[in-house]
Structure 1
Amino acid sequence: METLKYNLSILQDKAKERTVKTQSIEYDIETLIKKLDRNIIKLDPEYQRRHRWDNKTSSKLIESLILNIPIPTVYISQDIDVDSETEDDEFRYSVIDGQQRLTAIKNFLKNLYPLEGLETLSELNGCFYKDLPPFLTRRLEERSIKCLRIDSTLDAQVKLDIFERLNSGSVKLEAQELRNAVYGGRFNNLLKDLSKNINFRKLLQINNETPKDNNKVKKMEDVEITLRFFALTNNRYAQFKKSKDRGFSNFLDDTMSEFNNLDVQALNALKVDFENTMEYIVLNYGGEIFSKYKTEEDNEDEFHGAKSKLLLQSKFNIAVFDAFAIGIHDALQEGVDIRDKKRALLDLFFDKEFYNSVSGSYLDTNKLKYRIEATKKVLGCRGVLL
């Protein structure tokens, strides 16, 4: 009985401590956009995913707003007391749930996309915000959005918990989107910064003029590939041991956790290392070096016999990235001259075992280690296990 009372006391304290205090508030769209523009509300806190709605989905939301169809409540956290004096560029609130909706509204009002795919108001298809008749712009600007403001006393972890609970029934978070939420920190910020590197985007076949249109960017796959680079270079790939309970995703999680503890000087060194490697690869191997090829026999004639040739399968393959990016980086770290090794790397695709290592279940431990080791051997690295 004493134990029960003790447990009830603990439960009571926890319930009191973790109870979320909220306040309902409504903003008309015009006011809401002004708050976003003035940095009063932060639209993309660290735990949020990148904007993933296409124009058609965004247009449906705008149509719903014009027709006064109810939309879900936006959740915002109060980060700074509304009555306190702060600098002009300091956020008072951050969006916990509703980022996709608010971004769609803001982008339309900024004339960044035309309406498309509308059925009820099909006459508006092709129209930008500036093209709408005055009565519709007034209706849109005066439409109110219901917001639920969460008390400022909550710590960051509680906000993350709320974010995960609110998003549990929506579009599934990709692996790196979840890491972005859970492992926020300086290394996480560095990964997002490096994923925008011009040379890196060129190698990933991401158009530097329109990166937001690329699915790798929308789903933060570019950030995850940046993380893979740090997780596997400097012989770290040898640490990966797949088990029943822990796979490669867990290995990347561990890397996030470990590298978030690095100091500023160490992170700056990682930044320079990554940027120099990507620049070297583009200059010496071209922008399509992470392509995947398969072999096909070329029937010449009865005197010369058949000869195999390489056929392009894709201009970017993540397993090929593992092999070539890590191999090239580690060779450069050892001071090996690898400027004329492009042909040798492409010839690896004639090796059936190497081709298999970049195909199928490419996260298999043996496949991962084989493709990196095979690449390092071709490049002339020391300490190769093969």
Structure 2
Amino acid sequence: MRIAQVTYSTKPRGGVVHALALSEALARRGHDVTVWTLGRGGDQAFFRRVDPAVSIRVVPFEARDDESVGERIARSIETMGAAFAEARMRERYDVVHAQDCISANAVGPCLRTIHHLDEFTTPELVRCHDDAVRRPLARICVSAAVAADVERGWGLTPTVIPNGVDSARFAAAAGPSGDGDRARWRDRLGEYVLALGGIEPRKGSLDLVEAFALLQRRRPDVRLVFGGGETLFDYRDYRARVDARIAALGLDPVVLGVVDDDELPSLVAAAGALAFVSTKEGFGLAAMEALAAGVPVVARDLPVLHGVFGPTVVYAADPPSIEEALVAALDGAGPAAGPGRDLAASHSWDDVALLHEQFYEAVGGEGDHGAAVDLVHRHGAR
């Protein structure tokens, strides 16, 4: 099949990571895959090396400081839409698969993966979000909980195909071959709790700061480290609130920003614990990668995360319980690492690619998602 995977950024956000890994796995199965994306800020390539078997199309997207988030998203849709429409007839794709709201609104008839659902108040964003759920020919969700939310909210029945995980890469970073890289992080940071995804509302950063202030009374030598944080949205007000609270509490976290992809596994593997306290998630890829590295995870007490992780992580609902769970994790009193490693290893990208291939064949050009649901469930998707 000739497949177009469409995403909105070159940066390491969850949907982008998913699009690249899925595309590489589909290429390994013999498909002709092209990944389309917007090149924001002059980017001409993705945040990591991509298998040369996958073609890349980066659509230039100039930065503007004089537009709102709604205007930027509308311009993103228009820019991608114009470039993709010109190529679509020439390339004659068998499958067009959008990985986010912007892509789904830009490319016309498509299949869509809904990684998680957002809640917006800006009318343009509300409309964009709703159209990107309703208009696709068929939908995939990465967890049963998100699929249930789509069914409740829109009366639609997505197919559930979980995320894949590059578990071997994170397991290797935790093994003997990764000793030197882990030591370099620990020499730089000491003992640390890691949070990935940057400082933003959905990641529960303010609750984590409050929890860490409690933790430092008992474990003053442990540091809080934030990694990642590339986003389309303007979270400056939230970041200012977090910074003000950090100052008031006398904390000194390390904010790494976007971490080089080659360095990410060792950063995760060297952590004493991963704080995964998002208020909304669709699957939890960063937490699954931490489990692959044998790192204990403290997760927000959300139904979707219970459904994905079961008893392999510790759940917490508020700053005091987050603090208690982090202390237990640092002291080695959480769940054994083996089941978490096994869970991460069970999420093979090659298996995920097979399920996508079957989904594409089942829906064809008509978007028969009922057929896809039956077919994928017969092959054991969780």
Name the TM-score, length of structure 2 as normaliser: 0.24
**Bigger CA radius of gyration:** 1
Higher relative CO (Cα under 8 Å, sequence separation at least 6) belongs to 2
